[in-house]
Amino acid sequence: MSAEFIDSFDVSAEEKQTVAPSQAIFTSSSVSPELNAQPSELVDSSRILGTVLAVQANFYWVQLDQTQPPDRPSSTFLTATSQSPIPTTHLLCTRRTRLKKIGQQVMVGDRVEIEDPDWAGGRGAIAQVFPRKTQLDRPPIANVDQILLVFALAEPMLDPCQLSRFLVKAESTGLAICLCLSKRDLVPLEDAQQWCDRLRTWGYEPLLISLLDETGLETVPARLNQQTTVVSGPSGVGKSSLINRLIPKADLRVGAVSGKLGRGRHTTRHVELFQLPTGGLLADTPGFNQPDLDCAPAELAYYFPEARQRLATARCQFGDCLHRDEPNCAVRGDWERYDYYLMFLDEVLVRQEAIDQTRDAESTTKVKIRGDGQLQTEPKLATKKYRRPSRRKQKQQLQDLYSEINNEMDTDEEDIDEDRLS
């Protein structure tokens, strides 16, 4: 996002679209049918199409597909307010009232059509949001193709359980995953190679990089080319450093690893897509160390490539097998991460149970047996706290209030008398 975009609008911290570090990451939601009902992007050079790179309050920073309107010469325009040059590759847009009325949100990553461009002022209005291919809720980004998961080989130490947790969370989005092991310079080459071999048995082909001695960096752009990628990983693994290297314009702050836990400072706040020089878009996410696992217990096995592979070639005896101690289970076995599977399964089962209990407690109907023995569903009475008090109780409350006021008046009078005396 340009500095002008951030600086020209005085928005409060609450209004800015931010992702708190405590939030679970990679919550994806299914794409709404209304969105899919909208017209698609037709090839028509008279239409102004673009991608939303950043959102702040009610303004959208849109990168245009075409660098300038076809009927205008290539040039740079000045804004009336800042007098700083705004390239015609981007427009600062509002959302058409019609979209607001139908509740159409505009997210970072959305493909949009712009109307009424004010080329000199660098402004426009979003008239249409095209159907989303994918939608992440946390961080809120549309049309993401893949997740670049960065883990350091050291500082902070690579923990296979934590890595598995991030991988499961990333797998649950259904997006492609690119795993990157950073800080190669901090461990002997053999150790790094061992990690790569180990991760291959998990079903991943990691990139091995070091920003310090610049090894492996040439492998990264090819994996990001023409894709929209979200970078994720624990704090302090070098995500911001990597993005700054790939996109110097991004200028993300790099935090030093600090504290007993070897955690990095959390410096990443805005949800924003940066353009890769080679083509494609990249978003940073805040570093955090413990993503919540919130998938359904029955889905969990599918987020381990090793289990997925087993299920592709064999079937468990029971359709609802959770792959613990059920007979003739195709998943249970001596694969390295099976114990992590069991551990995460316990976690999602506990969570599921808590959700079920809340649902029962919040149920608004109750089942009654009628005189003729038939079951009948009827609405639950409001809880006591919302029931209207009885007349007797109301009268009692009034009397209490009356005597309370009388007592207070007596006390006040006594105080006044005392004042007079003193």
Q: Can you say which residues are annotated as belonging to the binding site? A: 182-185, 233-241, 316, 321, 323, 329
* Site size with Zn ion, rule: CB under 5 A: 5
Q: Which is nearer to Zn ion, 147 or 331 (CB)?
A: 331
* Partner interacting with residue 297 (select from Zn ion, ligand GTP, none; CB below 5-8 Å by kind): none
Position with the least CB separation from ligand GTP? 287
Is residue 122 near ligand GTP by the rule CB under 6 A?
no
In this structure, the number of other CB atoms found within 10 A of the CB of residue 243 comes to: 23
Instruction: Mark the segment that binds ligand GTP (CB under 6 A) among 52-60, 75-83, 254-262, 291-299.
Output: 254-262
Task: Out of 139, 287, 291, 297, point to the residue binding ligand GTP (CB under 6 A).
Answer: 287
**Omega prior to 156 cis, within 30 of 0:** yes
Q: What gap in Å lies between CA 87 and CA 260, rounded to an integer? A: 46
Taking the alpha carbons of 58, 63, 66, 71 in that order, is the dihedral positive or negative?
positive
Binding mask 267-306 for Zn ion (x = CB under 5 A): ----------------------------------------
Q: Are 317 and 327 in contact (CB under 8 A)?
A: yes
Instruction: Mark the segment that binds ligand GTP (CB under 6 A) among 108-116, 266-274, 290-298, 313-321.
Output: 266-274
Instruction: Mark the segment that binds ligand GTP (CB under 6 A) among 110-118, 192-200, 206-214, 387-395.
Output: 206-214
C-alpha distances out from residue 242 to 199, 238, 414, Å: 21, 6, 75
* Partner interacting with residue 331 (select from ligand GTP, Zn ion, none; CB below 5-8 Å by kind): Zn ion
| Least distance in angstroms from the C-beta of 255 to ligand GTP | 4
Instruction: Mark the segment that binds Zn ion (CB under 5 A) among 62-70, 123-131, 313-321, 400-408.
Output: 313-321
Q: What gap in Å lies between CA 341 and CA 302, rounded to an integer? A: 10
Is residue 237 near ligand GTP by the rule CB under 6 A?
yes
Q: Are 150 and 160 in contact (CB under 8 A)?
A: no
Q: What gap in Å lies between CA 87 and CA 62, rounded to an integer? A: 12
Residue with tokens 């109301």: 394
Is residue 182 near ligand GTP by the rule CB under 6 A?
yes
Classified as helix, coil or strand, 353 is helix
* Site size with ligand GTP, rule: CB under 6 A: 25
Q: Residue 322, by phi and psi: left (phi above 0), alpha (psi -120 to 50) or beta? A: alpha
Is residue 240 near ligand GTP by the rule CB under 6 A?
yes
* Angle at alpha carbon of residue 263, lines to 261 and 266, rounded to 5°: 145
Task: Out of 256, 312, 361, 369, point to the residue binding ligand GTP (CB under 6 A).
Answer: 256
Q: What is the DSSP string of 281-336?
A: EEE-----S-----S-GGGGGGGSHHHHHHHHH---SSTT--SSS-TT-SS-SS-T
Is residue 323 near Zn ion by the rule CB under 5 A?
yes
Residues paired with 61 in a beta bridge: 54, 92
Is residue 229 near ligand GTP by the rule CB under 6 A?
no
Residue with tokens 């030093």: 256
Instruction: Mark the segment that binds ligand GTP (CB under 6 A) among 217-225, 258-266, 342-350, 403-411.
Output: 258-266
Is residue 254 near ligand GTP by the rule CB under 6 A?
yes
* Binding-site ranges for ligand GTP (CB under 6 A): 182-183, 185-186, 210-212, 233, 235-241, 254-257, 264-268, 287
* Binding-site ranges for Zn ion (CB under 5 A): 316, 321, 323, 329, 331
